[in-house]
């Protein structure tokens, strides 16, 4: 009876062994890149000696295969933008695009026939566009009711953050719409919307000169001042 139980346990261990080895030999890395940049995908703890190395784009599509002294590239959409560095075993991708976002695999075959595999999840994002703020306001008595809408071209993975006079507003106010009641006690000269994703961030700011009265932008104010200075000279030129 004990012998039968021992044989059953041994069989169970043998069944579990391949999955344990696979889990030990598989590692995952995450890389985020901005579109248009050059990316180097590499694993820092690769064994120093192996028989063969293969880079995949997904589990089925081979990108390249390396053996001592030679590299074989496969015909893929990104063929003209990828190179292999034998020193670091890195896969280099130039001018990355959103379509390059994928799971890349590097698989090595050791002399003894053992395979090791690493996965690198590449995510390529465009820089966020310049946002603009739409203002809706209503004044009643001593209060100003503001609705500020931060508008940016459709983007995935975008986060909005609001500031007043360069001070971070409550985390509860995250989102592209800011509804706020302003009075003499909490009056701010400016409100800034920051749009960001994991690779970039851009701001847009609106200014107020008085309660519920929007100040002209710096560019408009500069042009107005320039015209005031230039007006007398223009009059002189016209009279001569």
CATH architecture for residues 23-125: Sandwich (2.60)
Cβ contact 68:86 at 8 Å: no
CATH homologous superfamily for the domain 132-215: Immunoglobulins (2.60.40.10)
Give the pLDDT of residue 27: 67
Strands 190-197 and 159-164, bridge-based pairing: antiparallel
Summarize pLDDT for 139-192 with one digit per residue, the tens.
998 999 999 999 988 667 789 999 999 799 876 667 899 999 999 889 899 999
Place 18 in a pLDDT band, splitting at 50, 70 and 90: very low
Enter the pTM of the model. Answer: 0.69
Exposed/middle/buried for residue 140 (C-beta within 10 Å: 0-12, 13-18, 19+): exposed
Summarize pLDDT for 96-133 with one digit per residue, the tens.
999 999 999 999 999 888 999 999 999 999 999 999 99
Matching fold, domains 23-125 and 132-215 = yes
Q: Where are the domains of the chain?
A: 23-125, 132-215
E strands within the chain?
A: 26-34, 39-41, 52-57, 61-67, 70-73, 82-85, 90-93, 102-109, 115-125, 132-140, 143-151, 159-164, 167-168, 177-182, 190-197, 200-210, 213-214
């Amino acid at each position: 009876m004990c012998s039968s139980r021992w044989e059953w346990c041994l069989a169970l261990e043998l069944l579990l062994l391949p999955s344990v080895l696979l889990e030990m030999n598989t590692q995952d890395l995450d890389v985020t890149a901005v579109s248009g940049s050059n990316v180097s995908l590499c694993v820092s703890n690769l064994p120093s000696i192996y028989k063969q190395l293969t880079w995949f784009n997904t589990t089925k599509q081979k990108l390249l295969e390396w053996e001592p002294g030679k590299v074989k590239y496969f015909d893929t959409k990104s063929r003209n933008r990828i190179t292999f560095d034998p020193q670091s075993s890195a896969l280099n991708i130039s001018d990355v695009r959103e379509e390059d976002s994928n799971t890349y695999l590097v698989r090595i075959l050791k002399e003894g026939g053992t395979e090791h595999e690493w996965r690198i999840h590449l995510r390529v994002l465009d820089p966020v566009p310049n946002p603009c703020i739409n203002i809706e306001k209503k004044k009643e008595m001593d209060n100003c009711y503001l609705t500020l809408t931060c508008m940016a071209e459709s983007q995935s993975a975008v986060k909005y953050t609001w500031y007043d006079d360069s001070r971070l507003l409550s985390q509860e106010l995250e989102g592209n719409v800011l509804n706020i009641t302003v009075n003499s006690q909490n009056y701010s000269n400016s409100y800034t919307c920051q749009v960001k994703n994991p690779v970039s961030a851009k701001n847009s700011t609106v200014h107020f000169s008085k309660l519920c009265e929007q100040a002209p932008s710096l560019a408009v104010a500069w042009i107005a001042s320039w015209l005031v200075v230039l007006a007398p000279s223009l009059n002189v030129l016209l009279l001569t």
